[in-house]
Amino acid sequence: MIVDNIIDIIRSIVDVLLVWFMFYFILKNIRNNVKMSLLFKGVLVVILLKLFSSLVGLKTVGLILDYIIMYGPLAIIIIFQPEIRGVLEQLGRSQLLGRHKILTVDEREKLVYEVINAVDYLRKSKIGALIVIERDVSLLEYINRAKPLYADLSSELLISIFFPNNPLHDGAAIIQGNRISCAGAVFPTSNSISLNKRLGTRHRAALGIAEESDAIGIVVSEETGRVSIAVKGELFYNLSLDDARMMLIEELRPKQEVEIETEEEDDYEEIN
């Protein structure tokens, strides 16, 4: 009897842990997808409105929300089919333990140095470019369809990839860790209505991959030489070289370092 009770307890604990892990993993990947995050917030608002209408006794509102809840899932599947498929693909290609390679401080500094050096040359020469840095969400799907390189990162190699008349200059170069994995990668373009219509395919592709994953997209405009960075579903347009450098340094910092620094700042505020 005691053994059976212990087994039941262990089974219940494992059951709860698996459900918790499943929800955590799904929510983590939804957070990295801007469109699905907005959809999730919309569903949450509808549920809260339903609870509020039930408590207050708003019958008409409650009836409308009942129909929305009844037929909403089917409408969501039909309307947001591409986004749902994207999240499922992310679940399949996400890394359970984070990025492929955790960079040291020196390696992160070298990465930023080489990328910024290349961007500086490209912007002065008005050579269009799209450089994407992979983070926690794997970009293997796009790497497999591009031209493999797997070369050590250098500004000279990045410049040569995007040099005019190079067959690969129209696509994107993807950086994994401290290596250039491929060139000529093609990403889905963003349909964001907030994006300036004058911006071209490179900017839309950078924002598109930033909406679907946690990657960082660095864009150099071929027409103006302006530098832009797409990250976390936003496009930061016409950045100075120093601003671009600081943004890359901040975004490439491991989460552990950010958490430790936040705790140190809180301790400092308490002391003062």
pLDDT of residue 205: 93
CATH number for the domain whose boundaries are 105-256: 3.40.1700.10
> How many angstroms separate the CA atoms of 65 and 50, rounded?
6
Domain map (residue ranges) of the chain: 2-93, 105-256
Q: Which residue has the tokens 């552990």?
A: 256
- Nearest 5°: the CA angle 127, 246, 244 is 20
Residue 180 and residue 163 in contact, taking contact as beta carbons nearer than 8 Å: no
Q: Identify the sign of the CA torsion 250, 176, 96, 141.
A: positive
pLDDT of residue 124: 94
State the pTM of this model. 0.65
Q: Per residue of the chain (272 residues), give pLDDT as tens.
A: 676 777 778 888 888 888 777 777 666 666 655 666 667 777 788 888 888 888 877 878 778 878 777 777 777 777 666 666 665 655 555 444 344 457 788 889 999 999 999 999 999 999 999 999 998 888 888 998 999 998 999 999 999 999 988 888 889 999 998 899 999 999 988 887 778 778 889 999 999 999 888 899 999 999 999 999 999 889 999 999 999 999 999 999 876 554 445 555 555 455 55
DSSP per position, 64-116: HHHHHHHHHHHHHHHHTHHHHHHHHHHHHHB-TTSSSS---HHHHHHHHHHHH
pLDDT of residue 227: 96
